[in-house]
């Protein structure tokens, strides 16, 4: 049985300077109530690893607007002008990754690998400052694994053992992030006694605690 706690209690141990992974593609499959609790707690100097920074007044974007993020590792920031503004002013250190590379770096951490060889970005600014390797006549960039202190993820249905299932595309980057953090907090639309093993996407062994979503659920 996993701990079932409030969003405020789950977030309380995240301290200034922590690194967090946040699931979701824009607002699809995002743990919005966990983010709201983190905004309310006003934890500062965070390193945030995420697919994007959403919009200024929505989920992940709120952390940017509230000036809580010191370093950002992501794939795109175009939907949130505030991210670009803070990047240009030097307030946030932004590391942009090709989307597939970001996911593979996280997956490598979860799998215990020393890194991955990626062809994307060879011959561009993405290659600068990184090791490269040639395999069978093709050049690759060596990308290091990427992990975090905490992963804040979403689940459509979660059982009391921490097993997670998803509706549609809400699974997105939540799945790999659950394997690559020291502690995993899952926000559940619904908590049930148990899930059919055939529906489990993230095994409960990866999950540390569960938070039940309080607001009305809207499937994306």
Q: Looking at the 3D structure of the chain, how many domains does it have?
A: 1
Domain assignment of residue 8, given as a range: 3-114+145-212
Domain of 175: which CATH number? 3.40.1080.10
129 pLDDT tier (thresholds 50, 70, 90): very high
Determine the pLDDT at residue 220: 47
Q: What distances in angstroms separate CA 171 from CA 23, 25, 71, 75, 111, one per listed residue?
A: 9, 9, 25, 17, 18
Determine the pLDDT at residue 215: 78
128 falls within a domain: no
Evaluate the CA torsion angle 58, 172, 143, 98 in order and state its sign.
negative
Q: Please state whether the predicted TM-score (pTM) of the whole model is above 0.85.
A: yes
Q: CB of 162 within 8 A of CB of 207?
A: yes
Residue 217 has pLDDT above 90, yes or no: no
67 falls within a domain: yes
8 falls within a domain: yes
What's the pLDDT tens digit per position in 113-125?
Answer: 999 999 999 999 9
What's the pLDDT tens digit per position in 141-195?
Answer: 999 999 999 999 999 999 999 999 999 999 999 999 999 999 999 999 999 999 9
């Amino acid at each position: 049985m996993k701990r079932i706690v409030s969003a405020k209690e789950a977030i309380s141990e995240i301290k200034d300077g922590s690194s967090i992974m946040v699931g979701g593609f824009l607002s699809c499959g995002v743990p919005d109530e966990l983010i709201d609790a983190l905004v309310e707690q006003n934890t500062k100097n965070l390193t945030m690893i995420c697919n994007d920074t959403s919009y200024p007044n929505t989920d992940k974007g709120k952390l940017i607007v509230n000036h809580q993020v010191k370093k950002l590792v992501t794939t795109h920031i175009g939907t949130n002008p505030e991210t670009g503004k803070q990047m240009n002013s030097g307030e946030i250190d932004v590391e942009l990754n090709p989307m597939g590379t970001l996911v593979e770096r996280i997956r490598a951490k979860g799998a215990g690998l020393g890194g991955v060889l990626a062809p994307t970005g060879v011959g561009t600014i993405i290659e600068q400052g990184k090791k490269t390797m040639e395999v069978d006549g093709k050049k690759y960039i060596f990308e290091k694994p990427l992990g975090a202190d905490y992963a804040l993820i979403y689940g459509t249905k979660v059982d009391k053992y921490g097993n997670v299932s998803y509706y549609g595309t809400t699974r997105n980057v939540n799945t790999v992030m659950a394997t690559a953090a020291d502690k995993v907090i899952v926000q559940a639309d619904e908590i049930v006694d148990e899930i059919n093993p055939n529906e489990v996407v993230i095994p409960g062994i990866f999950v540390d605690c569960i938070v039940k979503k309080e607001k009305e659920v809207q499937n994306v």
